[in-house]
Amino acid sequence: MKAARSTQLGLGIARFFEDYLPGQRGMSPHTVRSYRDAVVLLLQFMSQDTHRHVEQLQIADLTAERTVKFLKFLETDRHNGISTRNSRLGAVHVFARFLAAEWPEHLGSLQRVINIRFKRGARDAPIEYLEGVEMQAMLKSIDRTRPAGQRDYALFALMFNTGARVQEVLNLRRRDVRLDAPCQVRLFGKGNKIRLCPLWPATTKLLRDLIEQQRSSDPDPANALLFTNARGLQLSRFGVRYLLRKYVAIASRTATTLRDKRIHPHSLRHGTAVALLKSGVDFATISQWMGHASLNTTMRYARADIDLKRQALSQVFPEALAPPRGGRLMIHGAELIPWLRRL
């Protein structure tokens, strides 16, 4: 059987992900995976649109017209929002620029792809987060008599304690956790930035118990992953989402407010930020705790919680939230203007 020859597109994809993104651009593994997801979707769409196998696709198949059809497919068939659509387009732009630099004979057609504009109108979706009582209900729904339940309980408790991104937690190894005073965990965030987060005593005990009951095949125990599946492999983000949805569904029987929320692993991170704000922690500390690149990212949590809005309103207009005073309103008297000002 005749071996298939590598196409320019295939060679370009290999160089793009193996050398260009991690080596020349210095992008983190999380960002590389995001670009990978976008390119996989693009290749699958191009394959369907050209009626050819993915390995038969050429650089010439990546046209501006087909890319616009791909973006429309994301919005109509996959029901992606404008922000997701723009994020995928950004990855396509970077990929097209790389191909144009490697194979300049395709520069003209690839420039048309690069010139496709981002769509305006993207709005920040409301932040869905877990309140304290909702988090407690979710944790109580976990069966801790089973080893998997002990792992899940420690996983979600650690995510809420640190406000870490799900992949940051899944990448943790035993050497990244300090269980002696001062108890803390070392997280590797976006842009390969490292930050230390303190651990609550309850979280420390959960992690210590988890490590003691784990069996690792790694010759170096300190290098063993902290959270693994039944086969001893690293848990995936999709696995964590599945587990969270399962426990939230159980918890919603008692915590009815969960029924109207779309909870995902990042919701635990949002819940941590809001809980810190409610406790009076300043924005700069929260920004460092969460690993935010800018204070503007942290500030949005102040707009997400209704209790914080009430507190701010009561400080500026204390009478606005006070119960109305008794008595009869004098419509034609001197009480009208003061009453209107208090509205």
Q: Which residues are catalytic?
A: 165, 190, 266, 269, 292, 301
Q: In three state form, how does the secondary structure of 183-203 look?
A: CEEEEECHHHCEEEEECCHHH
Question: How many beta carbons lie within 10 A of that of residue 121, not counting itself?
Answer: 8
Element (H, E) at 315: helix 306-316
Answer yes or no: are the C-beta atoms of 59 and 99 closer than 8 Å. Answer: yes
Query: Which two structure tokens, joined as six digits, stand for 236?
Result: 């995936």
Distance CA 15, CA 10 (A): 9
Distance CA 38, CA 73 (A): 13
Distance CA 164, CA 170 (A): 10
Q: Tell me, rounded to whole angstroms, the distance of Cα 89 from its chain centroid.
A: 19
Distance CA 79, CA 313 (A): 37
